[in-house]
Amino acid sequence: MVSRDVPDRESDSDAAQHGGVQSVDRALAILEILARTGHAGVSEIAEEIGIHKSTASRLLGSLVARDIVQQNNERGKYQLGFGVLRLASSIPGRLSLVREARTVMEALAEEHKETVNLAVLRSNYAVNVDQAMGPSTLATYDWVGSLTPLHATSSGKVLLAALPAEERERVLKETGLPARTPLTITSRKQLELQLLEVSHRGYAVTREEFEIGINAIAVPVHNHAGTVIGAVSIAGPAFRFDPEDKPGLVESLQAAGLQISANMGYTGP
């Protein structure tokens, strides 16, 4: 006969494990609350999570001890601590834009059967750092490593639109607005109006501005801090490719830009 007073060791172990997971889950919930609200008191946190104040206080104490959370001495409320920055700072260095974008770009090229490029801003130019070719792409030119003018390309306009006004002024003053084709925008006033539209719409379109016979559309890619760090574009022959006339293309490209951004740690506005 087994005594009821003898504990079941396996059950105790399971219970301890469950309790540990629950504590981790609650600690993460606290961090999410502080990230959303900026600061909160013990009572507010306990009420939102649905736990006793003493439990919330104990969890907060553990987070404070590790500098993940800090207490505002004036109001007694809690906010995220600098330990969060220490942890987060190790992530961007491990993220490669090309690596994180590759699968998304390949899927985009396969879906729309056109060339997809990834570009970043370098030395006043848009530099293509990766390319995915669609199955029916006519052109076979490798754009990787190519420097392209900001004012005449869809990726360039996305990158220009994201710059502070002073930086954009400097770049355009140094590069000028040389005509690449008869359709290149060479008026500063007209370009600025276009860039305002790019910022409003969230994408840029060029029609034979960089090269006769080529149309393109691009959207921004953001990093974990929300900064525009690149642009992903789709380009194709003008006789068959008008980005805004192809059903679903704009939405598909914007979704791809958001996915790459998410891969880089971006969580949205």
Question: What's the confidence (pLDDT) of residue 41?
Answer: 87
Kindly tell me if the per-residue pLDDT of 201 is higher than 90. yes
Read off the CATH number of the domain in which 250 is found.
Answer: 3.30.450.40
269 exposed, middle or buried (CB, 10 Å; 0-12, 13-18, 19+)?
Answer: exposed
Claim to verify: residue 71 and residue 152 sit in the same structural domain: no
CATH number, domain of 55, equals 1.10.10.10
Residue 140: what pLDDT?
Answer: 52
Q: Among the three residues 68, 88, 108, which one is the final residue of a domain in this structure? A: 88
Same domain, yes or no, for 139 and 212?
A: yes
d(CA 91, CA 79): 22
Q: Residue 1 falls within a domain, yes or no?
A: no
Q: Are residues 164 and 208 in the same domain?
A: yes
User: Could you read off the pLDDT of 218-267 as tens digits, one per residue?
Assistant: 999 999 889 999 999 999 888 888 888 888 899 999 999 999 999 998 88
* 163 and 30 fall within a common domain: no
Q: Are residues 191 and 132 in the same domain?
A: yes
Question: What average pLDDT score do residues 41-55 get?
Answer: 90
Answer yes or no: is pLDDT of 141 > 70: no
269 is a domain residue = no
pLDDT at 87: 65
Burial of 182 (C-beta count, 10 Å sphere; 0-12/13-18/19+): exposed
* Domain end marker among 88, 112, 128: 88
Please check whether residues 54 and 141 belong to one and the same domain: no
Interval 137-158 mean pLDDT: 79
Q: What does the block give as tokens for 100? A: 């994180």
Domain termination site, one of 88, 109, 133: 88
**Secondary structure element (H or E) that encloses residue 36, with its range:** helix 9-37
CA distances from 140 to 213, 216, 251 (A): 15, 16, 26
- Per-residue pLDDT, 13: 47
3-state secondary structure of 68: coil
The number of distinct structural domains making up the chain is 2
Residue 17 has pLDDT above 60, yes or no: no
**One domain for residues 33 and 133:** no
Is 130 among the domain residues? yes
Q: Is the pLDDT of residue 207 over 70?
A: yes
180 phi and psi, to 5 degrees?
Answer: -95, -30
Residue 202: domain span? 95-263
DSSP 8-state class, residue 164:
-
Looking at residue 15, what is its pLDDT? 44
Confidence band of 106 (pLDDT split at 50, 70, 90): very high
Q: Is 3 part of any domain?
A: no
- What's this model's pTM, rounded to 2 decimal places? 0.66
Query: Are 120 and 55 in the same domain?
Result: no
2 pLDDT higher than 50 = no
What angle do the packed helices 154-162 and 188-201 form, to 10 degrees?
Answer: 80
Select the highest-mean-pLDDT range: 25-29, 187-191, 241-245: 187-191
